[in-house]
Amino acid sequence: MGARAALVTGGSSGIGLAIARALGEDGYGVTISARREDKLEATATELREAGLDVQAQPANVVSEDDIKALVAVHRERFGRLDVLVNNAGVGIGGAIADAETKKLDMQLDVNLRAVYLMTRECIPMLKQAGAEHGKALVANTASIAGKYGQGWLAAYSATKFGVVGLTQALHKEHGHDGIQATALCPGFVSTAMTDWVEGVEKDQMIQPEDIAEAIRYLLRTSRACFVPELQFIRAGDAL
Protein backbone atom coordinates (compact mmCIF):
# COMPACT_ATOMS: atom_id res chain seq x y z
CA MET A 1 0.00 0.00 0.00
CA GLY A 2 1.33 3.44 -0.90
CA ALA A 3 1.11 6.47 1.33
CA ARG A 4 -2.45 7.61 1.87
CA ALA A 5 -3.78 10.85 0.48
CA ALA A 6 -6.38 13.46 1.36
CA LEU A 7 -8.11 16.36 -0.37
CA VAL A 8 -9.30 19.35 1.66
CA THR A 9 -11.41 22.18 0.25
CA GLY A 10 -11.34 25.50 2.05
CA GLY A 11 -7.85 24.47 3.07
CA SER A 12 -6.04 27.81 3.19
CA SER A 13 -7.12 28.81 6.71
CA GLY A 14 -9.25 27.94 9.72
CA ILE A 15 -10.71 24.47 10.02
CA GLY A 16 -9.43 23.31 6.64
CA LEU A 17 -5.87 24.34 7.39
CA ALA A 18 -5.93 22.65 10.80
CA ILE A 19 -7.20 19.42 9.23
CA ALA A 20 -4.67 19.55 6.39
CA ARG A 21 -1.84 20.09 8.85
CA ALA A 22 -2.97 17.19 11.06
CA LEU A 23 -3.30 14.81 8.11
CA GLY A 24 0.08 15.88 6.75
CA GLU A 25 1.67 15.30 10.15
CA ASP A 26 0.13 11.83 10.14
CA GLY A 27 1.79 10.96 6.85
CA TYR A 28 -0.90 11.77 4.31
CA GLY A 29 -0.16 13.45 1.04
CA VAL A 30 -2.56 16.38 0.98
CA THR A 31 -4.12 18.53 -1.73
CA ILE A 32 -5.50 21.78 -0.37
CA SER A 33 -7.81 24.02 -2.33
CA ALA A 34 -9.34 27.46 -1.90
CA ARG A 35 -10.49 30.31 -4.11
CA ARG A 36 -7.68 32.81 -3.46
CA GLU A 37 -4.54 31.54 -5.15
CA ASP A 38 -2.11 33.82 -3.29
CA LYS A 39 -3.36 32.89 0.16
CA LEU A 40 -3.57 29.21 -0.79
CA GLU A 41 0.00 29.08 -2.06
CA ALA A 42 1.28 30.87 1.05
CA THR A 43 -0.43 28.25 3.18
CA ALA A 44 0.99 25.39 1.10
CA THR A 45 4.49 26.88 1.41
CA GLU A 46 4.09 27.09 5.19
CA LEU A 47 3.05 23.43 5.37
CA ARG A 48 5.84 22.29 3.05
CA GLU A 49 8.40 24.14 5.16
CA ALA A 50 7.12 22.08 8.09
CA GLY A 51 8.05 18.96 6.12
CA LEU A 52 4.57 18.02 4.92
CA ASP A 53 3.71 16.63 1.48
CA VAL A 54 1.23 19.24 0.28
CA GLN A 55 0.13 20.54 -3.09
CA ALA A 56 -2.15 23.50 -3.72
CA GLN A 57 -4.79 23.75 -6.43
CA PRO A 58 -6.94 26.90 -6.52
CA ALA A 59 -10.61 26.34 -7.27
CA ASN A 60 -13.87 28.20 -7.05
CA VAL A 61 -16.20 25.43 -5.94
CA VAL A 62 -19.14 27.22 -7.56
CA SER A 63 -17.59 26.06 -10.87
CA GLU A 64 -18.13 22.44 -11.83
CA ASP A 65 -15.14 22.68 -14.17
CA ASP A 66 -12.93 23.87 -11.29
CA ILE A 67 -14.12 20.95 -9.16
CA LYS A 68 -13.33 18.44 -11.90
CA ALA A 69 -9.91 20.01 -12.47
CA LEU A 70 -9.17 19.88 -8.73
CA VAL A 71 -9.96 16.18 -8.52
CA ALA A 72 -7.90 15.49 -11.66
CA VAL A 73 -4.87 17.35 -10.27
CA HIS A 74 -5.12 15.41 -7.03
CA ARG A 75 -5.41 12.10 -8.88
CA GLU A 76 -2.41 12.91 -11.08
CA ARG A 77 -0.19 13.76 -8.10
CA PHE A 78 -1.23 11.12 -5.57
CA GLY A 79 -3.11 8.46 -7.53
CA ARG A 80 -5.48 7.73 -4.67
CA LEU A 81 -7.89 9.36 -2.22
CA ASP A 82 -8.44 8.06 1.31
CA VAL A 83 -9.92 11.17 2.93
CA LEU A 84 -12.13 13.85 1.38
CA VAL A 85 -12.87 16.90 3.53
CA ASN A 86 -15.58 19.13 2.09
CA ASN A 87 -14.88 22.21 4.15
CA ALA A 88 -15.34 25.22 1.84
CA GLY A 89 -18.32 27.27 2.97
CA VAL A 90 -19.83 30.73 3.23
CA GLY A 91 -22.32 32.27 5.64
CA ILE A 92 -24.26 35.47 5.02
CA GLY A 93 -26.49 36.77 7.78
CA GLY A 94 -29.77 38.62 7.45
CA ALA A 95 -33.52 38.27 7.76
CA ILE A 96 -35.41 36.00 5.37
CA ALA A 97 -37.63 38.92 4.38
CA ASP A 98 -34.61 40.96 3.30
CA ALA A 99 -32.58 38.25 1.58
CA GLU A 100 -31.02 38.98 -1.79
CA THR A 101 -31.42 36.10 -4.25
CA LYS A 102 -27.77 36.41 -5.27
CA LYS A 103 -26.62 35.83 -1.69
CA LEU A 104 -29.05 32.93 -1.27
CA ASP A 105 -27.76 31.29 -4.45
CA MET A 106 -24.14 31.75 -3.36
CA GLN A 107 -24.74 29.87 -0.12
CA LEU A 108 -26.65 27.10 -1.87
CA ASP A 109 -23.90 26.74 -4.49
CA VAL A 110 -20.90 26.79 -2.14
CA ASN A 111 -22.31 25.05 0.92
CA LEU A 112 -24.41 22.31 -0.67
CA ARG A 113 -24.09 21.97 -4.45
CA ALA A 114 -20.29 21.99 -4.30
CA VAL A 115 -20.24 19.33 -1.58
CA TYR A 116 -22.46 17.13 -3.75
CA LEU A 117 -20.33 17.64 -6.87
CA MET A 118 -17.00 17.16 -5.08
CA THR A 119 -18.26 13.95 -3.54
CA ARG A 120 -19.61 12.67 -6.85
CA GLU A 121 -16.30 13.27 -8.61
CA CYS A 122 -14.31 11.60 -5.81
CA ILE A 123 -16.40 8.45 -5.35
CA PRO A 124 -14.34 6.29 -7.76
CA MET A 125 -11.09 6.95 -5.87
CA LEU A 126 -12.81 6.64 -2.49
CA LYS A 127 -14.25 3.26 -3.50
CA GLN A 128 -10.78 2.05 -4.46
CA ALA A 129 -9.42 3.09 -1.06
CA GLY A 130 -12.43 1.57 0.70
CA ALA A 131 -11.87 -1.72 -1.08
CA GLU A 132 -8.22 -1.66 -0.05
CA HIS A 133 -8.53 -0.89 3.65
CA GLY A 134 -12.22 -0.41 4.48
CA LYS A 135 -11.79 3.06 5.94
CA ALA A 136 -12.14 5.73 3.27
CA LEU A 137 -13.56 8.83 4.95
CA VAL A 138 -15.71 11.70 3.73
CA ALA A 139 -15.93 14.44 6.34
CA ASN A 140 -18.35 17.24 5.53
CA THR A 141 -18.17 20.46 7.51
CA ALA A 142 -21.76 21.22 8.41
CA SER A 143 -22.63 23.32 11.48
CA ILE A 144 -24.64 23.25 14.66
CA ALA A 145 -26.91 25.48 12.53
CA GLY A 146 -27.51 22.32 10.50
CA LYS A 147 -29.03 20.69 13.58
CA TYR A 148 -30.92 23.64 15.10
CA GLY A 149 -32.12 26.28 12.63
CA GLN A 150 -30.74 29.73 13.38
CA GLY A 151 -32.73 32.90 12.85
CA TRP A 152 -30.99 35.48 10.66
CA LEU A 153 -28.91 32.63 9.24
CA ALA A 154 -31.78 30.87 7.52
CA ALA A 155 -30.09 30.14 4.20
CA TYR A 156 -26.90 29.02 5.92
CA SER A 157 -28.90 26.80 8.27
CA ALA A 158 -30.84 25.28 5.38
CA THR A 159 -27.67 24.45 3.46
CA LYS A 160 -26.07 22.87 6.50
CA PHE A 161 -29.17 20.77 7.19
CA GLY A 162 -28.75 19.69 3.58
CA VAL A 163 -25.12 18.74 4.18
CA VAL A 164 -26.16 16.56 7.13
CA GLY A 165 -28.78 14.82 4.97
CA LEU A 166 -26.37 14.37 2.07
CA THR A 167 -23.82 12.84 4.44
CA GLN A 168 -26.36 10.36 5.75
CA ALA A 169 -27.42 9.42 2.23
CA LEU A 170 -23.84 8.97 1.09
CA HIS A 171 -23.16 6.46 3.83
CA LYS A 172 -26.29 4.51 2.96
CA GLU A 173 -25.21 4.33 -0.68
CA HIS A 174 -21.53 3.56 -0.12
CA GLY A 175 -21.03 2.27 3.41
CA HIS A 176 -20.77 -1.22 1.95
CA ASP A 177 -17.91 0.05 -0.23
CA GLY A 178 -15.79 0.88 2.82
CA ILE A 179 -16.64 4.59 2.66
CA GLN A 180 -17.62 6.21 5.93
CA ALA A 181 -19.28 9.64 5.84
CA THR A 182 -19.43 11.96 8.84
CA ALA A 183 -20.98 15.41 9.21
CA LEU A 184 -19.02 17.78 11.44
CA CYS A 185 -21.42 20.11 13.26
CA PRO A 186 -19.58 22.78 15.27
CA GLY A 187 -20.81 25.88 16.97
CA PHE A 188 -18.66 29.01 16.85
CA VAL A 189 -15.12 28.13 15.80
CA SER A 190 -12.26 30.59 16.13
CA THR A 191 -11.82 31.45 12.44
CA ALA A 192 -12.27 34.48 10.20
CA MET A 193 -15.87 33.39 9.60
CA THR A 194 -16.74 34.25 13.21
CA ASP A 195 -15.12 37.70 13.28
CA TRP A 196 -18.63 39.18 13.33
CA VAL A 197 -19.57 37.48 16.60
CA GLU A 198 -19.81 39.89 19.52
CA GLY A 199 -19.55 38.97 23.19
CA VAL A 200 -17.51 35.79 22.68
CA GLU A 201 -13.73 36.07 22.62
CA LYS A 202 -11.81 33.89 20.16
CA ASP A 203 -10.13 31.95 22.96
CA GLN A 204 -13.59 31.06 24.29
CA MET A 205 -14.62 29.50 20.98
CA ILE A 206 -14.07 25.99 19.69
CA GLN A 207 -10.60 25.84 18.14
CA PRO A 208 -9.88 24.62 14.58
CA GLU A 209 -7.53 22.04 16.09
CA ASP A 210 -10.48 20.54 17.97
CA ILE A 211 -12.07 19.70 14.62
CA ALA A 212 -8.78 18.35 13.27
CA GLU A 213 -8.51 16.01 16.24
CA ALA A 214 -12.00 14.72 15.40
CA ILE A 215 -10.73 13.69 11.96
CA ARG A 216 -7.89 11.80 13.61
CA TYR A 217 -10.40 10.04 15.86
CA LEU A 218 -12.61 9.05 12.93
CA LEU A 219 -9.63 7.55 11.12
CA ARG A 220 -8.56 5.53 14.16
CA THR A 221 -11.86 3.83 14.86
CA SER A 222 -12.51 0.33 13.55
CA ARG A 223 -14.15 -0.42 10.23
CA ALA A 224 -17.24 -1.53 12.15
CA CYS A 225 -17.61 1.83 13.90
CA PHE A 226 -19.57 4.37 11.87
CA VAL A 227 -20.01 7.89 13.26
CA PRO A 228 -22.75 9.68 11.26
CA GLU A 229 -22.11 13.06 12.83
CA LEU A 230 -20.19 14.88 15.51
CA GLN A 231 -21.55 17.94 17.30
CA PHE A 232 -19.14 20.43 18.88
CA ILE A 233 -20.70 22.72 21.49
CA ARG A 234 -18.87 25.60 23.13
CA ALA A 235 -18.41 25.00 26.86
CA GLY A 236 -21.22 26.68 28.75
CA ASP A 237 -23.61 26.95 25.81
CA ALA A 238 -27.03 25.38 26.15
CA LEU A 239 -28.27 22.95 23.52
pLDDT digits (tens, 9 = 90+) for 172-210: 999 999 999 999 999 989 888 888 888 788 988 999 999
pLDDT at 48: 98
pLDDT in tens, 63-105: 999 999 999 999 999 999 999 999 999 999 999 999 999 999 9
pLDDT at 238: 63
pLDDT in tens, 101-120: 999 999 999 999 999 999 99
Could you give the CA distance from residue 169 to residue 58 in angstroms, rounded to a whole number? 28
pLDDT at 40: 98
**Is pLDDT at 239 greater than 80 in this prediction?**
no
Out of 28, 116, 156, 217, the active site residue is 156
pLDDT at 201: 84
156 is catalytic: yes
pLDDT band, residue 236 (cuts 50/70/90): confident
pLDDT at 1: 38
> For the residues 132-148, what does the mean pLDDT come to?
97
Q: Are 182 and 215 in contact (CB under 8 A)?
A: no
pLDDT in tens, 9-67: 999 999 999 999 999 999 999 999 999 999 999 999 999 999 999 999 999 999 999 99
Could you give the CA distance from residue 172 to residue 208 in angstroms, rounded to a whole number? 28
Q: Residue 94's beta-bridge partner residues?
A: 153
Which architecture, in CATH terms, is 5-229? 3-Layer(aba) Sandwich (3.40)
Could you give the CA distance from residue 143 to residue 160 in angstroms, rounded to a whole number? 6
DSSP type of residue 207: P
**Domain limits of the chain?**
5-229
Q: Residue 140's beta-bridge partner residues?
A: 86, 183
Could you give the CA distance from residue 211 to residue 238 in angstroms, rounded to a whole number? 20
Q: Residue 181's beta-bridge partner residues?
A: 138
**Is pLDDT at 146 greater than 90 in this prediction?**
yes
